[in-house]
């Protein structure tokens, strides 16, 4: 798909309708342009005969008309609108979908639960770093809960269950009372509905667990606002929030820091379902994921599988976005890798250090587009905060340290410079930057570097110092910089 193309995903959920517009960026990434959300609560509009009330349909139609105005001019192949559990259940769904499609300007699909689960997983996986781990993804929506196991971007097992924050709040907290009796009944019923998941998703089937969408975000926001780590949900934290609800006693009095207004009527049902899932599957930690159904829809529209080398694609995308001299960056990366291998002298090279050096060397000049002065600090900020790169936190930290430390004084890295896993690749990177200062391939013939303990010795062949006087001067300045650290760089320039 051509760069700068706009794609749009419309998610007709049981609690909220959402519109997300993304732009196809460099290397086929999707960058968010706009996100609209309206709390429609269509799931509350289903009666005992599973028919949507006229009021519920009207609320949905009015929202879709507003979305339709925003989507005017979009190509039909660039928009996908999907409806989930409420319209799967509604006997008069055809009436709503027919009028809603007219107002939106694009056809609305009522997708099966399994397709919803697949799209959720694709959306979540698109926001995560590449990994061979088997991922369990839990998505508690308004009227359905999806449970998926997958690896990389592919699902391996998926299921959709008819329970969620809206339906459970309506069924077990209809009187607004937040008491133990209502919670116990809600959790017990959720476990019964999810019973088959206990056997279908044993702990041996997955390595790590994630929670996505509304309930997960609401729980995470409430925990963060109260000084806890909202990025990871545990049974203890869920019980902590449940105790707060019990102490408040009624939905009308519900005021919890971080809990948004539109979540208050359905939070008790959502927490009940999440407690049931966590207890039933024996989940120790649920990491709150950023991706969701709508991101999965956008990636399907793009019809683009993640590149075989996602890391390389992310590097190239950042280089392109920030105008990096790619040829020079690749030269620095080659020289730095060669020097580091020589410094290691046959010792096993830590994979994390190798990966960090590989990335940092190619991005060491990423801050130059901000300003030439102190560009290494700008580059460190970019690598630390760039959300489009899906590096693991520890890897991101090491990349940032290398970019920050590749030039200038070394004291800015403080105690971290004492670690060989940082100091040695950093020395290799700094030497490579100096040797490549002409922005041409340096003459490495006869140049050697050896390490003994915390001392590295670099020697050159006869005549090298005379042939490359500026390089020699830069190396002498580099040796002086290292003399002020626990490490030393000795030179034998000839």
User: Could you tell me if 203 and 241 lie in one domain?
Assistant: yes
Of 412, 441, 470, the residue at which a domain comes to its end is 441
* Residue 23 to residue 120: CA distance in whole angstroms: 20
Q: What is the three-class DSSP state of 36?
A: strand
- Let me know if residue 486 belongs to a domain: no
Q: Please give the pLDDT value at position 470.
A: 95
- pLDDT digit string (tens) for 403-451? 999 999 999 998 889 999 999 999 999 999 999 999 999 999 999 999 9
- Let me know if residue 44 belongs to a domain: yes
User: Could you tell me if 13 and 156 lie in one domain?
Assistant: no
Q: Please give the pLDDT value at position 307.
A: 52
User: Could you tell me if 107 and 145 lie in one domain?
Assistant: no
Residue 209, H or E segment: strand 208-212
- Let me know if residue 397 belongs to a domain: yes
- pLDDT digit string (tens) for 360-395? 999 999 999 999 999 999 999 999 988 667 788 889
Q: What is the mean pLDDT of the chain?
A: 92
**CB within 8 Å of 41: residues ≥ 6 apart:** 14, 15, 56, 59, 166, 265
Residue 10, H or E segment: strand 6-12
- Let me know if residue 169 belongs to a domain: yes
User: Could you tell me if 25 and 75 lie in one domain?
Assistant: yes
* Residue 63 to residue 67: CA distance in whole angstroms: 6
Closest CA to 367 of 353, 390, 391, 384: 384
Cβ pair 387, 461 in contact under 8 A = no
H-type alpha helices, 419-483: 420-435, 464-467, 469-482
- Let me know if residue 473 belongs to a domain: no
For 112, how many CA atoms within 13 A lie in the half-sphere containing its CB? 5
Q: What is the three-class DSSP state of 154?
A: strand
Whole-number Cα distances in Å, 430 to 89, 266, 361, 424, 489: 63, 55, 9, 10, 12
* Residue 145 to residue 162: CA distance in whole angstroms: 7
Given the DSSP bridges, would you call strands 455-459 and 488-492 parallel, antiparallel or unpaired?
Answer: parallel
- Let me know if residue 475 belongs to a domain: no
User: Could you tell me if 96 and 144 lie in one domain?
Assistant: no
User: Could you tell me if 55 and 192 lie in one domain?
Assistant: no
Of 59, 90, 111, the residue at which a domain comes to its end is 111
Residue 287, H or E segment: strand 286-288
User: Could you tell me if 107 and 29 lie in one domain?
Assistant: yes
CATH code (residue 240): 3.30.420.150
User: Could you tell me if 133 and 278 lie in one domain?
Assistant: yes
- pLDDT digit string (tens) for 175-204? 999 999 999 999 999 999 999 998 889 888
| Residue 189: exposure state from Cβ atoms within 10 A (0-12, 13-18, ≥19) | middle
User: Could you tell me if 159 and 200 lie in one domain?
Assistant: yes
Q: Please give the pLDDT value at position 306.
A: 47
Q: What is the three-class DSSP state of 227?
A: coil
| Residue 394: exposure state from Cβ atoms within 10 A (0-12, 13-18, ≥19) | exposed
Residue 140, H or E segment: strand 134-140
Q: Please give the pLDDT value at position 345.
A: 80
- Let me know if residue 474 belongs to a domain: no
Q: What is the three-class DSSP state of 73?
A: coil
CATH code (residue 347): 1.10.3210.10
Interval 110-130 mean pLDDT: 91
Residue 51 has pLDDT above 90, yes or no: yes
Of 415, 441, 467, the residue at which a domain comes to its end is 441
For 446, how many CA atoms within 13 A lie in the half-sphere containing its CB? 9
- pLDDT digit string (tens) for 240-255? 999 999 999 999 999 9
52 DSSP 8-state letter: B
CATH code (residue 101): 3.30.420.40
Q: How confident is the model at residue 127 (pLDDT cuts 50, 70, 90)?
A: confident
Residue 34 has pLDDT above 90, yes or no: yes
H-type alpha helices, 282-374: 293-302, 310-321, 326-344, 351-363
Task: Name the residue range of residue 37's domain.
Answer: 5-111
The pTM score is 0.66
206 vs 3 pLDDT, higher one: 206
Closest CA to 17 of 35, 34, 37: 37
Closest CA to 313 of 390, 370, 375: 390
- Let me know if residue 304 belongs to a domain: no
Cβ pair 60, 103 in contact under 8 A = no
Interval 394-407 mean pLDDT: 94
Tokens of 189: 């019923």
Residue 53 has pLDDT above 80, yes or no: yes
Interval 313-322 mean pLDDT: 85
* Residue 181 to residue 29: CA distance in whole angstroms: 48
User: Could you tell me if 90 and 192 lie in one domain?
Assistant: no
User: Could you tell me if 186 and 269 lie in one domain?
Assistant: yes
User: Could you tell me if 321 and 368 lie in one domain?
Assistant: yes
Whole-number Cα distances in Å, 244 to 55, 183, 283, 486: 33, 13, 22, 52
Q: How many domains does the chain have?
A: 3
């Amino acid at each position: 798909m051509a760069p700068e193309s706009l794609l749009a995903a419309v998610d007709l959920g049981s609690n909220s309708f959402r519109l997300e517009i993304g732009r196809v960026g460099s290397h086929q990434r999707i960058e968010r342009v706009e996100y609209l959300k309206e709390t429609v609560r269509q799931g509350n509009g289903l009666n005992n005969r599973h028919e949507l009330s006229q009021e519920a349909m009207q609320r949905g139609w009015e929202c879709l008309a507003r979305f339709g105005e925003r989507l005017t001019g979009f190509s039909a192949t660039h928009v996908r609108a999907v409806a989930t559990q409420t319209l799967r259940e509604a006997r008069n769904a055809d009436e709503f979908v027919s009028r809603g499609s007219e107002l939106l300007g694009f056809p609305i699909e009522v997708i099966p639960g399994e397709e919803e689960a697949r799209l959720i997983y694709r959306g979540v996986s698109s926001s995560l770093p590449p990994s061979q781990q088997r991922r369990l993804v839990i998505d508690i929506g308004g009227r359905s809960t999806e449970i998926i196991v997958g690896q990389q971007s592919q699902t391996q097992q998926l299921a959709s269950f008819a329970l969620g924050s809206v339906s459970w709040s309506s069924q077990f907290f209809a009187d607004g009372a937040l008491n133990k009796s209502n919670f116990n009944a809600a959790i017990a019923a959720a476990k019964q509905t999810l019973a088959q998941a206990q056997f279908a998703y044993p702990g041996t089937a997955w390595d790590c667990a994630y929670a996505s969408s509304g309930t997960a975000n609401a729980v995470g926001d409430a925990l963060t606002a109260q000084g806890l780590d909202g990025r990871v949900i545990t049974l203890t934290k869920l019980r902590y929030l449940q105790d707060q609800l019990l102490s408040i006693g009624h939905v009308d009095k519900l005021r919890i820091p971080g809990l948004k207004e539109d979540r208050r009527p359905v939070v008790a049902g959502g927490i009940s379902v999440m407690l049931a899932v966590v207890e039933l599957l024996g989940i120790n930690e649920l990491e709150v994921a950023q991706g969701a159904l709508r991101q999965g829809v956008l990636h399907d529209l793009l019809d683009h599988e993640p590149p075989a080398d996602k890391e390389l694609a992310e590097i190239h995308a950042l280089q392109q976005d920030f105008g990096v001299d790619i040829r020079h960056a690749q030269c620095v990366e080659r020289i730095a890798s060669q020097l580091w291998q020589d410094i290691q002298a046959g010792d096993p090279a830590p994979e994390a250090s190798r990966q960090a050096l590989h990335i940092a060397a190619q991005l060491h000049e990423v801050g130059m587009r901000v300003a030439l002065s102190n560009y290494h600090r700008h580059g460190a900020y970019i690598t630390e905060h760039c959300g489009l790169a899906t590096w693991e936190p520890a890897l991101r930290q090491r990349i940032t340290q290398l970019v920050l430390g590749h030039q200038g004084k070394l004291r800015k890295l403080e105690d971290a410079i004492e670690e060989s896993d940082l100091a040695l690749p950093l020395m290799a990177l700094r030497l490579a930057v100096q040797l490549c200062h002409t922005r041409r391939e340096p003459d490495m013939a006869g140049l050697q570097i050896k390490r003994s303990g915390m001392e590295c010795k670099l020697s050159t062949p006869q005549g090298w110092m005379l042939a490359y006087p500026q390089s020699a001067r830069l190396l002498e300045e580099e040796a002086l910089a290292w003399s002020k650290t626990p490490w030393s760089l000795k030179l034998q320039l000839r």
